[in-house]
Structure 1
Amino acid sequence: MKTPNHVAILAFDGVQVLDVTGPAAVFAAANDAAGQPCYRIHILSAHGGLVTSNSGVALQTQALSSTAPAGIDTVLVAGGSADGLQALACDDKARDWTTQASARARRYGSVCSGALVLAAWGLVRGKRVATHWEATELLGRHADLQVDADALYVEDGRVWTSAGVTTGIDMCLALVARDLGDGVANAIARRLVLYARRPGYQSQFSPMLTAQARAESGFSSLLDWVREHLAEPLDVERLAERAGMSPRHFHRRFTEAFGATPARFVETLRLDAARQLLAAQVPLKEIAARTGYANPGQFSKAFVRRFGISPGLFRETQGASHTA
């Protein structure tokens, strides 16, 4: 980049602090990783000065009037408390500035429940958008948009929206990768000590997280064990033995606890792991072996049955820009 791209993050009283600091940290780290000032970050609010986040941490902001909307490359509206979002949505100054900036910006969007403000301002009409899972029903009341209740983040034309809190980091890593390449984005992920760069298609709730939330104490250790042994045979008999139950009793208890049979649950974990391996460009033969399928053909059939596309097509459309 010959000159820095200006990134504006809109904050307000009641803002979720990580919705601001997470994206800001990514863009700041990009400057360090690239060895040049690629981004200039503006933390803005309607009137400037200190705004108090919903966790009590105060953030120093610049007034919207201090920054010309025509010069902004990327505009992001943070999420936060219901009262804070409502006040922001009713702020004419914030609406007018953001509308002008978004009309000229290369891209704009939101982090977490900030999508509710964009919707109230009519800036995501006809778009597919993501938001925090707790806000999906409320956002869905806007008939002029499509809510993706599952994705970590969504790109629809110039509009980028993310789900809850830390997913703003994932989305901004994708923005940096688009600008500066995967090498810089991966360097940032390492600097921020992230476990992995998560692609947008990944669910807000991984199968393991969902299962752990539902698990009875008797199944908690079993879930961890299954995740570490996906390459091995995992039939009901083996799982029941591990849980210290008869196969019939185990099958009934497990299905009641998770709303899925043991076989369905194991397949879900295997295919979720396979998606990550596909995005990382791991060969199909190795993916099949590491996820418990006898051969690539068997794996491909299971993948198509679950997701409706072949592993090859999935890799083609998702893998190139999401390597970890």
Structure 2
Amino acid sequence: MTPEELANLAHLRRAKDAIDRDYALPLDVPTIAQKAFMSPAHFSRKFRAAYGESPYGYLMTRRIERAAALLRAGASVTDACMAVGCTSLGSFSSRFTELMGESPSAYRGRAHDAVEAMPACFARFATRPLRSPAEPKSSRNGEALRQGAG
């Protein structure tokens, strides 16, 4: 790895740490890119290459992760939404459902006894939102769809 690539990784890590720390603040890609000393477009490409998702996607995943912890603790959906920096309850609910597989209200309403019994470090790992893999693209002969149906 070249010294320039190492420097870029250090800058990306600084930006990722800023997202983890400041997730509840109004962040956007240009603001985060400044922390990495890169243009927004270059930063987005490098971030995706290094971490496998866009900076905005990473930010929203962290926000949903923190919101899930608040919902498990008994916060209302609206309070959790606002506490993690989301301004639209509808967008928050859609993203929460996409990442967690159930609505925020359903998540809040069910028991989380197993998570509450875990040490915090294990609970964070066990409850981390994961994006589902992309749907297979159909080809002219439908081969991708048949392989996915397996």
Q: Give the TM interval when normalised to the shorter protein.
A: 0.5 to 0.7
Distance 1:290 1:320 in 2: 23
Say which of 73, 80, 87 aligns to 1:280: 73
Q: How many residues get paired? A: 110
- Map 1:1-324 → 2, pairs under 5 A: 216-319=9-112, 322=116
Q: What is the TM-score when the length of structure 2 is the normalising length?
A: 0.64
User: In the alignment, is the contact (CA less than 8 A) between 2:12 and 2:36 conserved in 1?
Assistant: yes
Listed as ranges, the gaps of 5+ residues in structure 1 are 1-214
* Pair member with larger Rg: 1
Percent identity between matched residues is 31
The structure with more helix, counted as a fraction of residues? 2
Taking a change above 3 Å as real, the CA distance of residues 231 and 277 of structure 1, as seen in their structure-2 partners, is same
The alignment yields a C-alpha RMSD, in angstroms, of 2.2
Q: Secondary structure at the match of 1:216?
A: helix
Deviation readout 1:109-155 (Å, 9 max, x if unpaired)? xxxxxxxxxxxxxxxxxxxxxxxxxxxxxxxxxxxxxxxxxxxxxxx
Higher relative contact order (CA 8 A, sep 6+): 2
Distance 2:52 2:74 in 1: 32
Distance 2:67 2:90 in 1: 14
User: In the alignment, is the contact (CA less than 8 A) between 2:29 and 2:40 conserved in 1?
Assistant: yes
Deviation (angstroms), 1:320: 6.0
Deviation (angstroms), 1:295: 3.5
Deviation readout 1:89-113 (Å, 9 max, x if unpaired)? xxxxxxxxxxxxxxxxxxxxxxxxx
Q: Give, as a single letter, the amino acid of the residue that structure 1 aligns with 2:104.
A: P
Listed as ranges, the gaps of 5+ residues in structure 2 are 1-7, 121-150
User: In the alignment, is the contact (CA less than 8 A) between 2:24 and 2:85 conserved in 1?
Assistant: yes
Which residue does the alignment assign to 1:181? none
Which residue does the alignment assign to 2:139? none
The structure with more strand, counted as a fraction of residues? 1
Distance 1:248 1:219 in 2: 13
